[in-house]
Amino acid sequence: MQIEQLEILDFLRLHPPCSELPEEALRRVAAATDVRYFKAGTQILAFGQAAEFWHIVRSGAVEIFRRSGTLYNQLTEGGHFGEFGLLRNKRVRFPAKALEDTLLYLVPEAVFTELFETVEQFAEWVEVEDRSRLRQVVSRHEGASPLMTATVANLVGRPTVVLDAGASATEAARHMCEHGVSSLLLTRAATPADERPKVVGIVTDRDLRSRLLASGRPGSTPVSEIMSGNLISVQHNQLVFEAMLSMLRHHVQHLPVMRGGQPVGVITQSDIIHYESRNSLFVVGNILRQTSVDDLAAMLPDVRACFTRMVAEDANSRMIGSAMSVIGRSFKQRLLELAEAELGPPPVGYCLLALGSMARQEQTIVTDQDNALILADDFDPRLHDAYFERLARFVCDGLARCGYEYCKGGVMATNRQWRRPLRQWEACFSEWIERPTPQSLLDSNIFFDLDSVAGTGEWAATLREHVAGKAKGNAQFLACMARNALLRTAPLGFFKEFVVESDGQHTKGINIKRRGTAPLADLIRVHALAVGSTARNSFDRLNDVIDAGILPQGRGPDLHDALEFIAMVRIRHQAADLAAGREADNSIEPEALSDFERRSLRDAFQILANAQKFLKYRYQPGRAG
């Protein structure tokens, strides 16, 4: 061995993970390693270029960047980089630049891959490093789109403009002109119980036009009479993406931005559009403008393009799930509007419920429709049910044409069983919770994920509060729910190998929804019900569960990572299907994944398996029924 190679060998012996290698493997690495010098400020790796080497810093300093250009890490002597691109798709994912004059050891890809596949300690060390990097890639802070990384605070361009709610409409208009704004936040004076003024509503220039001038009311009208009192707001640290979804969901164009309970500004749709004009906002806007079911059905290619674009931009599963759920809700809302235009106004009030993944804001491009109707308590089936049956049929048939398959279990508002007055829904949930059986809860499990799509949304909130109050601490109910959550197990064999399924179509695949995301959502739901959480999204529920302290130390973050990783494997598989011109599905073949993805997926399934063991221990489902 030459002197230079001996120096490399001595260096590698001192720095992990190479220090963990057997002597023979170390010598092979040293013999194959190249040495290169990079002057300060020189680009070492560019995003997207071929990944040919694993890099080790011999001396100097290197900066690693996300592809958005933000700094990710700084490495000095003994640091290593480039492994993520080697393990994923042989393309550089994290650009690198020499911060100082730097000497690097370059280990060829073939040597690195051989070590990863044959030396378990080396693979485990690298995997720990790269799992954290993978989470960076699919987290909210990674991705090329500014919409995916910016917080709402970045859009607030001026201090909050407020006015006392006792002022007149004329005073409000004058105040808006003086400050050059299109909206005002209205406050009430501080009280002994609350030392700070309280925001009670918002008034916009549109309110002045439509609620004052168009109706001929005088300028002396109190501004409180034309304001919007049901204030929809966002927190300063929420993502711009989340603010956009809130605007779409609630059909508002101005969002107050809050911090510590106080307003710090107002953002508008134009602020967001200026930030990012083409993504789910564009698709939803088009959906809401269509004038027929045929036009809505023609939107399916745009929906699929939106989905694949978000995947390509490295959006995380929550962003994608939320966007696809908002798109699905928009189809339902527009179909309801078209139905009422054809059938006439409803005879009594109603609320259309989304159930399952749409309610949890976890939809993907492969989904069916699950929905129900809450009807006003003065609903009379003899007088009113024919209308709501036709309304439900119009919506469900329209959804089927727009790509949302009929629910195979019949959980749709077209089923008379799932059109009930509010008091009957409350009685139904009480029956499920107070006198549970595994079978009754298996049939009704999907109803524990519900959200309002249109109509009287407070009724959905009333049901969630009703469920949370009755479920918390009900041992028999929780045991039955836990028993059902254990029916779908992680697809791992005795030696942690994948257990593939044969369903007549996919002979070497795993249904990643049935054996991955669904059982994770199920077990998180049980814990959430146990602690009285009213959250709908699985990640929000998990946060409530972690805060309640009922999980073993570290299990909550593990579940978060497992759900995110499995969900993204599912999402990327569906996007790849669409890109290849195939019909997207939930069946993945482990052999088609990279070594890194297989190992990480196995780890995620093991977390699921362990979480199911704990679920069984905590709620003792053997006592159920």
- Give me 93's structure tokens: 């994912």
Residue 285's pLDDT is what? 82
Both 121 and 216 in one domain: the answer is no
- Residue 126 scores a pLDDT above 80: no
pLDDT tens-digit series, residues 353-376: 999 999 999 999 999 999 999 999
Q: Does the residue 297 lie in any domain?
A: no
Both 181 and 240 in one domain: the answer is yes
Return the C-alpha torsion angle 277, 280, 285, 288, nearest 10.
180
Both 476 and 623 in one domain: the answer is yes
Q: What is the DSSP string of 550-587?
A: -SPTTHHHHHHHHHHHHHHHHHHHHHHHHHTTPPP-SE
Both 590 and 502 in one domain: the answer is yes
Q: Does the residue 111 lie in any domain?
A: yes
At residue 390, what are phi and psi to the nearest 5 degrees?
-65, -40
Domain boundary among 275, 306, 321: 275
Give the CATH number for residue 602. Answer: 1.20.120
Mean pLDDT of 296-318: 87
Q: Does the residue 372 lie in any domain?
A: no
Residue 141's pLDDT is what? 37
Both 111 and 233 in one domain: the answer is no
Question: Who has greater pLDDT, 252 or 401?
Answer: 401
Both 43 and 84 in one domain: the answer is yes
Q: Does the residue 402 lie in any domain?
A: no
Domain boundary among 260, 275, 290: 275
d(CA 84, CA 104): 17
SS3 of 295, please? helix
pLDDT tens-digit series, residues 458-506: 999 999 999 999 999 899 999 999 999 999 988 887 556 777 776 555 4
Contacts of 483 (CB under 8 A, 6+ apart): 438, 621, 622, 624, 625
Give the CATH number for residue 18. Answer: 2.60.120.10
d(CA 372, CA 366): 20
pLDDT tens-digit series, residues 330-350: 999 999 999 999 999 999 999
Domain boundary among 109, 138, 167: 138
Q: In terms of DSSP bridges, do strands 350-355 and 371-375 run parallel, antiparallel, or are they unpaired?
A: antiparallel
Both 53 and 9 in one domain: the answer is yes
d(CA 354, CA 333): 11
pLDDT tens-digit series, residues 54-75: 999 999 889 888 776 777 777 8
Q: Does the residue 67 lie in any domain?
A: yes
Both 92 and 172 in one domain: the answer is no
Burial environment of residue 196 by CB neighbours within 10 A (0 to 12, 13 to 18, 19 or more): exposed
Both 167 and 128 in one domain: the answer is no
Q: Does the residue 589 lie in any domain?
A: yes
Q: How many domains does the chain have?
A: 3
How confident is the prediction for the chain on average, in pLDDT? 87
Both 17 and 133 in one domain: the answer is yes
Give the CATH number for residue 204. Answer: 3.10.580.10
d(CA 250, CA 243): 11
What pTM does this model have? 0.65
- Give me 140's structure tokens: 């909210």
- Residue 120 scores a pLDDT above 60: yes
Which strands sit side by side in the sheet containing 262-268, from one edge to the other?
A: 234-235, 254-259, 262-268
Between the alpha carbon of residue 131 and those of residues 125, 141, 301, 342, 561, the distances in Å are: 10, 15, 33, 53, 9
Contact 172, 220 (CB under 8 A): no
Tokens 């609320």, residue located: 351
Q: Does the residue 253 lie in any domain?
A: yes
Residue 85's pLDDT is what? 87
Both 91 and 173 in one domain: the answer is no
Both 613 and 480 in one domain: the answer is yes
DSSP state of 49: S
Q: What is the DSSP string of 190-227?
A: --SS-SS-EEEEEEEHHHIIIIIITTT--TTSBGGGTS
β partners of residue 420: 374
Range of the domain at 179: 152-275
Q: Does the residue 367 lie in any domain?
A: no
